[in-house]
């Protein structure tokens, strides 16, 4: 069951669902391996202009809702987590420029981010930390007309694609967000990572060696980048979780199909064994709960509410549930669950990503606990 979507939102859902069924599912394996869409499917995907859904017309968008964008990301996740990952990177950066950037940054870059002309991402993590801004070592020093950056980052998605990054570096009294062009002097691409869950996704190290950022490429206020990081990550977490809710739905559907077709002494295992029914009931309930909360958090963004603690709760819920759902779905498949012939193993591996990317689960617990302790009670605003 879905929330009461508007006509436009329902159209987005139908359009993306059609694309997933017809174009993405037949090639999901190669997409996961390559870490990117390719050929005509990529062209079709780009022409759907999904990132334009949420952003205002003056920056090349169509002025729709964040819920609309989340619908698209969730539907895509049913086919492969890769397109959701790519769109999430560009969307959280566009959101940050829109909310914190100067008019120059907004008009110059948001339209190209929305049309996917430039790939983009966020660069926070370093070799010693992906969680603690106080441990960052990349520094920015003030120079005439701008800032000189030195340091390195690790595990950065889109750091080798020749695109743009919203990069966080230490300044005198805090962290500042900078807009970085990876083609500029002083930027060097380092080792590429290879992950168990999404193959050749462009991700890895980057080095900054006297990289100069002009003053007009600082995002928001100097030393106030932590707020941008927290809010941009909350947008990213919501988009990312949308893809993983889609992935969980697919795992559930595959488990149901298997339980209905695999027989034991002539009877489908789903009908015969209560243990299978228990799993299916649990999985279905979890998928339903994740769906409801996903759209609730997305609606909070549209309503201008403080969505940061809820995005952390959503991320924790989705990380835990996807882990259980994909594991249960694999167990229902028996030995076939481990076979490369079956899709469920791919989903199990992809599902691991949501536990770490955009902040480990314990970090979400810290955010959630601090929020409720500060408020003193559960707030259902």
Site residues for ligand FAD per CB under 6 A = 121-125, 129-131, 155-157, 195, 203, 353, 356-360, 362-363, 366
Identify the CA nearest to 233 among candidates 163, 287, 148, 175.
175
Least distance to ligand FAD, CB of residue 68, Å: 24
Considering the complex, state which of residue 131 and residue 285 has its C-beta at the smaller distance from ligand FAD. Answer: 131
Distance in Å, CB of 121 to ligand FAD, minimum: 5
Nearest residue to ligand FAD, scored by beta-carbon proximity: 130
Task: Output 64 or 163, the one with its CB closest to ligand FAD.
Answer: 163
- What is the 8-class DSSP label of residue 20? I
Shortest Å distance, C-beta 167 to ligand FAD = 9
Q: Which residues contact 198 (CB under 8 A, 6 or more apart)?
A: 32, 35, 81, 82, 85, 350, 353
Query: What is the Rg, in whole angstroms, of the alpha carbon atoms belonging to the chain?
Result: 21
Pairing label, strands 263-264, 267-268: antiparallel
**Shortest separation between residue 123's beta carbon and ligand FAD, angstroms:** 5
* CB closer to ligand FAD out of 155 and 187: 155
Nearer to ligand FAD, 216 or 320 (CB): 320
CB of 122 to ligand FAD, least distance (A): 5
The minimum distance between CB 139 and ligand FAD, in angstroms, equals 17
State how far the Cα of 291 lies from the Cα of 242, in Å rounded to an integer: 8
Determine the Cα–Cα distance for residues 155 and 359; give it in Å rounded to an integer: 12
The residue (of 163 and 337) whose beta carbon lies closer to ligand FAD is: 163
Shorter beta-carbon distance to ligand FAD: residue 299 or 366: 366
Q: Is residue 229 within 8 Å of residue 133, measured between CB atoms?
A: yes
Q: Are 276 and 270 in contact (CB under 8 A)?
A: yes
Separation of alpha carbons 253 and 247, rounded Å: 10
């Amino acid at each position: 069951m879905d929330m009461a979507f508007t006509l436009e939102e329902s159209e987005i859902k139908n359009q993306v669902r059609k694309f997933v069924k017809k174009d993405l599912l037949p090639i999901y394996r190669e997409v996961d391996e390559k870490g990117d869409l390719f050929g005509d499917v990529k062209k079709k995907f780009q022409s759907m202009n999904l990132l334009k859904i949420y952003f205002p017309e003056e920056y090349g968008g169509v002025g729709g809702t964040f819920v609309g964008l989340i619908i698209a990301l969730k539907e895509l996740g049913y086919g492969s987590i890769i397109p959701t990952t790519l769109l999430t990177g560009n969307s959280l950066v566009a959101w940050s420029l829109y909310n914190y950037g100067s008019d120059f940054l907004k008009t110059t870059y948001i339209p190209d981010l929305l049309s996917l002309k430039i790939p983009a991402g966020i660069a926070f993590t370093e070799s010693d930390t992906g969680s603690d801004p106080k441990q960052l070592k990349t520094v920015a020093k003030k120079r005439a007309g701008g800032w000189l950056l030195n340091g390195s980052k690790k595990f950065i998605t889109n750091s080798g694609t020749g695109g743009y990054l919203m990069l966080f570096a230490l300044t005198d009294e805090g962290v500042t967000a900078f807009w970085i062009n990876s083609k500029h002097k002083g930027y060097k691409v380092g080792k590429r990572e290879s992950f168990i869950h999404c193959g050749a996704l462009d991700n890895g190290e980057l080095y900054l060696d006297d990289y100069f950022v002009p003053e007009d490429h600082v995002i928001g206020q100097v030393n106030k980048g932590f707020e941008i990081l927290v809010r941009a990550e909350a947008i990213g977490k919501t988009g990312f979780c949308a893809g993983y809710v889609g992935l969980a739905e697919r795992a559930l559907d595959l488990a149901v199909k298997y339980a209905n077709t695999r027989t034991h002494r002539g009877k489908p295992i789903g009908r015969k064994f209560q243990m299978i029914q228990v799993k299916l009931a649990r999985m279905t309930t979890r998928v339903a709960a994740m769906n409801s909360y996903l759209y609730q958090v997305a609606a909070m963004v549209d309503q201008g509410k403080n969505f940061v603690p809820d995005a952390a709760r959503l991320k924790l819920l989705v990380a835990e549930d996807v882990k259980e759902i994909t594991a249960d779905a694999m167990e229902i498949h028996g030995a076939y669950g481990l076979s490369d012939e079956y899709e469920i193993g791919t989903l199990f591996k992809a599902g691991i990503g949501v536990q770490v990317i955009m902040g480990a689960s314990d970090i979400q617990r810290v955010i959630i606990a601090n929020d409720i302790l500060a408020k003193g009670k559960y707030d259902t605003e």
